[in-house]
Structure 1
């Protein structure tokens, strides 16, 4: 399916651009369609699922007709669609809902991960261990059982036949600086090796601690998504402590793409990376006494 989140961002850009070309303020437009300025702001900033009737009124007020009217209304309908993640609501975590939405239509996913295994490759035990860590930082803003279930659903979607081409870089700190018990990490690393060996469209590379990276270091985990529709812009998302920062501006996306290439140039080969993951899994199994 097309990603409603991606289409909402496209719709937002279209509506804002149309209004500005008419030299009209958001207040003026809101009065023309008898809606609040907040409604216009939310639509133009992709902060809500669009009401198609409101979009029709906006297009009429801005004098949009013909094929352009039809194309934007189709976009609004796609932006208003619902996916499997909507049945979970915020019980799976609002940030994870966004990722599930974007992944549903991505044809390539490239990511650099500083502190944890990518969500779509985590075992339930690994995710549960991270939940226990979250509990030490304050009240949870999701339901653990639903969050873990949703993460496994995301894995099924991403690793399906015909799914997105995934190219992931794991900082060696992910496997050396333990955020979970040794047994859990050992099983997680074995799962990684088995999954990568099974799915040809999935690649995992390790970035060694001693790697020399030209042009500077990554300041956070980030993921880059591209989509089959060329009109859907490539998207780069930086994962920070409190929020995910989404970029679709070409200049910013290019910066992340170039950084990813520099990091990938410094990684070990995919084959060597799997060997190192297997060795680390065996070491951790020894620590766990298993």
Structure 2
């Protein structure tokens, strides 16, 4: 299924371009089609699922016809589609919803993590420990139980027969510094090792803390790189920050992260050595507890 999120972004850009080319303000459009200015602004920034009636009214207002009308109408319909994640509302958190949307139509996923384990490879026990860490920082804006259910669904989707290829670079700092109980970290490492061993499409490459990453600066944040099955969907990067995720689709920006991933990957342990590392550290952590 095409990514509704990507379709919303594409539709938003097209509608904003049409309005600006016609020389109309947001206020003028809102007045003409009887909706709020804020709704148009959010529509043009891909911050809401489009209302098909509103989109049709905008196309009629600007006298869009023929093939362009058909193309934008089809784009609006796919942008408005709901996925399994929508049944959770905001209970699973906005970040996990975007991740689930992008994973559903991805052909390949690559990621780099130095602050947490990749979400889709987390065990339920490890997720519970992360939620407890989150509580220590203040009130949470999601339902922990629903979050856990959604994570399980994401994992099943990743492992479906036509699921994407997934590779992650895991910085050793996560294992050494994340404040979760040692027995839970050990179990998480075993969980990942078992998952990777059972599924050829999934691989974890460990970046040792003493590895030198040649050729440029180090990444400042965790990030993901996606390619998609649908023709016309460009590669994209998603960069995690403390408060939100940044979605990048400009070719030049995505290439910077693509090049950075290649440099990081070159410094990692090979897949078999990474798997042995995970099992070895899990055993040591288990002995410490």
Q: Which bin holds the TM-score, normalised by the shorter protein?
A: over 0.9
Query: Match for residue 224 of structure 1?
Result: 225
Cα distance, 1:149 vs structure 2? 1.2
SS at match of 2:105: coil
SS at match of 1:166: strand
| TM-score, normalised relative to structure 1 | 0.95
CA contact (8 A) 2:105 2:230 kept: no
Cα distance, 1:128 vs structure 2? 0.4
Query: Match for residue 239 of structure 2?
Result: 238
- Moved segments of 4+, more than 6 Å: none
Cα distance, 1:215 vs structure 2? 0.4
Query: Match for residue 15 of structure 2?
Result: 15
CA contact (8 A) 2:30 2:40 kept: yes
Identify unmatched segments of 5+ residues in structure 1: none
Query: Match for residue 99 of structure 1?
Result: 99
Q: Is 2:280 the counterpart of 1:248?
A: no
- Greater Cα shift, 64-73 or 274-283: 64-73
Q: Is 2:66 the counterpart of 1:66?
A: yes
- Greater Cα shift, 5-14 or 35-44: 35-44
Query: Aligned equivalents of 2:205 and 2:76: distance in 1?
Result: 39
Query: Aligned equivalents of 1:61 and 1:210: distance in 2?
Result: 61
SS at match of 1:90: coil
CA contact (8 A) 2:110 2:166 kept: yes
Query: Match for residue 2 of structure 2?
Result: 2
SS at match of 1:231: coil
How many residues are treated as equivalent by the alignment? 288
Query: Aligned equivalents of 1:162 and 1:107: distance in 2?
Result: 9
Query: Aligned equivalents of 1:272 and 1:52: distance in 2?
Result: 52
Query: Aligned equivalents of 2:9 and 2:232: distance in 1?
Result: 11
Query: Aligned equivalents of 2:258 and 2:20: distance in 1?
Result: 30
Equivalences for residues 73-92 of structure 1 within 5 A: 73-92=73-92
Equivalences for residues 189-204 of structure 1 within 5 A: 189-204=189-204
| TM-score, normalised relative to structure 2 | 0.96
Equivalences for residues 167-182 of structure 1 within 5 A: 167-182=167-182
Identify unmatched segments of 5+ residues in structure 2: none
Q: Deviations over 1:218-253 (max 9, x none)?
A: 101111112112322322111111111121222211
Query: Match for residue 274 of structure 1?
Result: 275
Equivalences for residues 110-149 of structure 1 within 5 A: 110-149=110-149
SS at match of 1:91: coil
Cα distance, 1:53 vs structure 2? 1.0
Q: Deviations over 1:105-126 (max 9, x none)?
A: 1111110001211110000000
Query: Aligned equivalents of 2:219 and 2:189: distance in 1?
Result: 23
Cα distance, 1:35 vs structure 2? 2.6
Cα distance, 1:94 vs structure 2? 1.9
